[in-house]
Structure 1
Amino acid sequence: MARRLRPVGLDFAEVAPVRHVFTAEVAAAPEAVYRALAEQVEGWPRWFKAITLARPTDGGAGREIRLAGGVRFHETVMAKDPGQRYAYRVDETNAPGMRALLEEWLLTPSGTGTRVRWTFATDGPAPFRLALAAARPALGRSFRSAVRALDARLATDRPAGNC
Structure 2
Amino acid sequence: MKVLKWIFIVIIALFAILIVIGFAMPKETKMTTTEEINLPPAKVFHFVAGFVDRTAWDPWIKADTAVQCTFDIVPGYIGSKYNWDGPVVGKGSMLVDSVVFGSYILNQVSLMPGKSIPEEWMFTPSGNGTLVKWTITMTSGSPFGRLANKAFSGIIQKTMNGGREALKTYLEANGVQLSNLTEIGIEEYPAVEALTISAVVSQQEAAAWYGQSLGKLYPAIEAQNLQPQGAPFALYEGYDPATGKFTMTAGMPVSAGGRNAGEIRLMKYNSFLALKGLHNGPYDELSVSYGKLDNYARENGIELSGAVWEFYLTDPADATNPAQLLTQIAMQLKTK
The alignment's TM-score, normalised by the length of structure 2, stands at 0.37
Q: Which amino acid aligns with 1:20?
A: M
Larger radius of gyration: 2
Q: Which amino acid aligns with 1:126?
A: P
| Cα shift readout 1:25-56 (whole Å, capped 9, x = no counterpart) | 222221221121012x1511111131242523
How many residues were matched structurally?
141
Establish whether residue 65 from structure 1 lines up as the match of residue 76 from structure 2: no
Stretches of structure 2 lacking an aligned partner (at least 5 in a row)? 1-25, 62-66, 177-336
Q: Which amino acid aligns with 2:43?
A: A
How far does residue 122 in structure 1 lie from its aligned partner after superposition? 2.1
Q: Which amino acid aligns with 2:54?
A: W
**Change in CA separation of 1:156 and 1:75 when aligned onto 2, cut-off 3 Å:** closer
Q: What residue is the counterpart of 1:131 in the other structure?
A: 148
Q: What residue is the counterpart of 1:31 in the other structure?
A: 42
Q: What residue is the counterpart of 1:5 in the other structure?
A: none
How far does residue 104 in structure 1 lie from its aligned partner after superposition? 0.5
RMSD: 2.9
Regions of 4+ moved over 4 Å: 57-60
Cα distance between partner residues in 2 of 1:102 and 1:26: 23
Deviates more, 1:28-37 or 1:61-70: 61-70
| Cα shift readout 1:117-153 (whole Å, capped 9, x = no counterpart) | 1121122333332222122232222222212212221
SS in 1 for 2:96: strand
Q: What residue is the counterpart of 1:4 in the other structure?
A: none
Q: What residue is the counterpart of 2:104 in the other structure?
A: 85
Q: What residue is the counterpart of 2:58 in the other structure?
A: 48
Cα distance between partner residues in 1 of 2:27 and 2:38: 31
How far does residue 107 in structure 1 lie from its aligned partner after superposition? 0.8
Contact 2:35/2:168 (<8 A) preserved: no
Contact 1:123/1:129 (<8 A) preserved: yes
Q: Which amino acid aligns with 2:99?
A: K
How far does residue 84 in structure 1 lie from its aligned partner after superposition? 0.6
Q: Which amino acid aligns with 2:83?
A: I
Cα distance between partner residues in 2 of 1:16 and 1:65: 28
**Change in CA separation of 1:74 and 1:50 when aligned onto 2, cut-off 3 Å:** closer
Cα distance between partner residues in 2 of 1:148 and 1:70: 20
Q: What residue is the counterpart of 1:11 in the other structure?
A: none
Q: What residue is the counterpart of 1:94 in the other structure?
A: 112
Q: Which amino acid aligns with 2:82?
A: E
Cα distance between partner residues in 2 of 1:126 and 1:147: 30
